Amino acid sequence: MRCFGRHWQQRRGDAFTEAYAQSVSHRAPLLYLVVIFNALLVDWCFLHAAPLALLLVAPVIVLMAASRARYWLPSRVARRPVEQLRIDIQAMQRLGGWAALVFVAWSLGLYPYGDPGQRELLHFVIAVTMFAAILGMAHAPQTALRLGLAFTLPWSLFVLATGHPDAVAMALAQVFVTAVLLTMTHIQHRDFVRLELSRQLLARRERQTAELASAHYRQATVDHLTGGRNRRAILACLEEHLTGPDDAMRPWLALFDLDGFKHVNDTYGHAAGDHVLSTVNLRIGSVPGVSAHGRLGGDEFAILFDGSFDTETVMVAARALSAAIREPIAFNGATLRLCGSIGLHRVKGTTASTCLERADAALYKAKELGDGAIVLFGEEDEVALQRRITVMRQFNDCALGERLRLLYQPIYDCRTSRVVGMEALARWSPDGVEWQAPGEFLAIADATGRTGELTRLVLARTLAECRPWETGLEVSINLAARDVVREGFAETIAQIVIEAGASPASVMLEVTERALQLDPRRAAAQLIAFREKGFRIALDDFGAGWSSLSQLRDLPLDRIKLDRELAAALSTDPGARAVTGMIVALAWQLGIGCSIEGVETEAQAAAARALGIHLMQGYHFGRPELAAEALRVYAQAVA
Ligand code: C2E
Ligand code: CA
Ligand code: CA
């Protein structure tokens, strides 16, 4: 019964209101058409029988029905907001019954003036209008119920009161048909509600799926940090251009890398770094000619420049980009200044990754030039790039231990004329035949993240081959820049030395000034950690380029190694002699030893000796050799 009752109630909610209104709009105009037709029919039949006042009711009904029909036209309903529709439906529920009563009252008023035929017509019209009204409100059961009651009750009672011979049959027929029609309405409404509910469910599911898909798409393509495109999205843009039809309109791909970003992160914190990346992203977007851009990761961005640009125009655009990045960035009262290197490549019909490799090669060159250089990938770069890629793959894939060998160069003490140490110099072979010097593979070791592994291998092998605990030699190994800032590296290498049965004091770690400059604070802390583990530390390549004397005082150093540029100049250049003399004196005052490397002639050695330098290294004393040869020479000298 409750279930039965529930289906008389119209459902609430915007979706239902709209559905009801739509359903009504498809039926109500037709219903009003029936009302208009019937009103005119009745008026026409009673034209000469009824008084004028009653006859004039029909035009009023016609006018009102016509205006209602127009109001409920589907095209008009579709334009009305849901709030208005709700009011319309409520009004219809409220007023529908009263309107029916008016129609019935009018018919009752006419009844006494009609002859039997006209009266039959009234019976017929009332019945037909009621059927039409109930059918018209099939999805508005409450209204249908009110209409049904408003027509049937007064009319049936009236029929019974007329004393018509078939009055009971007529009233019964009307009541029965009304009840059947209302039951049908009830069933129709129930089905309508079910259908509408499942339609709403489907719509909700569809909406949720669409929302999920768009959220997923956003997550997958938006860089959470800058709010712009991420790697995936910008590469997708690039791919699109590659597969596009017009070869002449392929865009320019620029790779952009911020110089000094790490410094911002370290000095001002990560919030400043994030701010810089977002600002840079915005600024890139505002450069004329940029058709798409996104962050590849870290502080590297990919930019697509307009395909209609020629070489000159794209260089102008790249310079504009560079200038935009150089503009100071304000952050929390601080002014941050950065610049960026740019590698450019005209996208050609290959894969996105080849385009990236080429632009990256140009970027690599630009970074070597420094100061926010812009480099265009040229034909001649292709050969170098292919070689670099091949070597990179070989280095990446090889078992480093099998492809590595060490040469040892003696360190000679002039006072005792004896070899006191060996410096290990690495050689790497891509194929086991050709051996490459560090200048060729160190950058690749760095790029492939294998410098730590290299250093560990070199240290372990040097100890195994030179056996300092037996020979009394001091062994020197070179550290890569990253080793100087690598977390826990002092412990790692101390462990290697202990496992080899050697003492860290017999190992000299050579670090270059450049490595120290990468991150001076962490480097200084790392040197202290090395020292605490018992290692000795040498500052390599001192005097090559710009050297800072202050770091001699601040860092825990055991030795400085004067660079071979100074060695070469010593015998000929009095200025070089003066500078070297000053460095030696300062080092002596600070308790730091001095050695000189790259000594090739006796004249250079004599000049160094005259300045008080006793530890020497260079072709004049011995070339780098494999362990067997280096140790044989050493053993002979000792003997
Ligand atoms: P470095 O530490 O300054 O090593 C000295 C370089 O000068 C060596 O070049 C050596 O062969 C060369 N050399 C020695 N005596 C003379 C000389 O009288 N005249 C001239 N012209 N050159 C001389 P190499 O072996 O090519 O090493 C180059 C650089 O590579 C080294 O410079 C060092 O910084 C780095 N390196 C070498 N081995 C390793 C290693 O195992 N790990 C790391 N991270 N770096 C290494
Ligand atoms: Ca060295
Ligand atoms: Ca050196």
pLDDT in tens, 493-521: 999 999 999 999 999 999 998 888 878 88
Closest CA to 63 of 36, 91, 28: 36
pLDDT at 4 over 60: no
3-state SS assignment for residue 44 = helix
* Best mutation site among 425, 463, 479 for ligand 1 pocket (most ligand atoms within 8 Å of CB): 425
Question: What integer is the mean pLDDT of 535-551?
Answer: 84
Which range among 5-19, 240-254, 418-432 has the greatest average pLDDT? 418-432
Ligand 1: nearest atom to the Cα of 445: 44
Instruction: Tell me the C-alpha distance between 270 and 262, whole Å.
Output: 10
Q: Which of 2-16, 69-83, 250-264 bottoms out in mean pLDDT, i.e. has the lowest?
A: 2-16
Q: What is the pLDDT of residue 276?
A: 94
261 CA → ligand 3 middle, Å: 29
The mean of the pLDDT values for the chain is: 90
Provide Rg for the chain, Cα atoms: 48
**Superfamily name and number for 399-638:** EAL domain (3.20.20.450)
Instruction: Tell me the C-alpha distance between 164 and 516, whole Å.
Output: 118
* Both structure tokens of 181: 């029609």
Instruction: Tell me the C-alpha distance between 285 and 223, whole Å.
Output: 14
Buried b / exposed e along 124-140 (16+ C-beta atoms within 10 A): ebbbebbbbbbbbbbbb
48 CA → ligand 3 middle, Å: 128
Query: What ligand is nearest to the CA atom of residue 408?
Result: 1
- The whole-model pTM stands at 0.59
Closest CA to 599 of 584, 621, 627: 621
Q: What is the pLDDT of residue 3?
A: 47
pLDDT at 453 over 50: yes
Q: What is the pLDDT of residue 501?
A: 95
Residue whose CA lies nearest to ligand 1 atom number 21: 598
SS (H, E, C) 516-554: HHHCHHHHHHHHHHHHHCCCEEEEEEECCCCCCCHHHHH
pLDDT at 94 over 70: yes
pLDDT at 411 over 50: yes
Question: What integer is the mean pLDDT of 477-491?
Answer: 95
Confidence of residue 247 (pLDDT cuts 50, 70, 90): low
pLDDT at 2 over 50: no
Cβ(343) to ligand 1 under 6 A? no
Q: What is the pLDDT of residue 611?
A: 95
CA 25 to chain centre: 48
Point out which residues pair with 509 in neighbouring strands: 477, 537
Confidence of residue 136 (pLDDT cuts 50, 70, 90): confident
pLDDT at 349 over 80: no
Give yes or no for a contact between 127 and 180, defined as CB atoms under 8 angstroms apart: no
Q: What is the pLDDT of residue 387?
A: 83
Distances (CA, A) of 310 to 184, 354, 372, 528: 77, 21, 21, 54
589 CA → ligand 2 middle, Å: 24
Architecture of domain 231-377: 2-Layer Sandwich (3.30)
Confidence of residue 397 (pLDDT cuts 50, 70, 90): very high
Ligand 1: nearest atom to the Cα of 480: 44
Instruction: Tell me the C-alpha distance between 170 and 161, whole Å.
Output: 12
Which range among 151-155, 166-170, 499-503 has the greatest average pLDDT? 499-503
pLDDT at 550 over 80: no
Buried b / exposed e along 181-195 (16+ C-beta atoms within 10 A): bbeebbebbbebbee
Q: Which of 188-197, 451-460, 529-538, 609-618 bottoms out in mean pLDDT, i.e. has the lowest?
A: 188-197
pLDDT at 286 over 60: yes
Q: What is the pLDDT of residue 5?
A: 57
Q: Which of 29-38, 331-340, 540-549 bottoms out in mean pLDDT, i.e. has the lowest?
A: 540-549
Neighbours of 122 (CB within 10 A): 20
Which range among 5-14, 263-272, 449-458, 537-546 has the greatest average pLDDT? 449-458
* Best mutation site among 478, 486, 596, 602 for ligand 1 pocket (most ligand atoms within 8 Å of CB): 478
pLDDT > 70 in the chain, percent: 97
Question: What integer is the mean pLDDT of 224-252?
Answer: 85
535 CA → ligand 3 middle, Å: 18
For 140, phi and psi rounded to 5 degrees? -130, 70
Q: What is the pLDDT of residue 7?
A: 63
pLDDT at 404 over 50: yes
Per-residue pLDDT tens digits for 96-134? 889 999 999 999 999 999 898 998 899 899 989 988 888
pLDDT at 479 over 90: yes
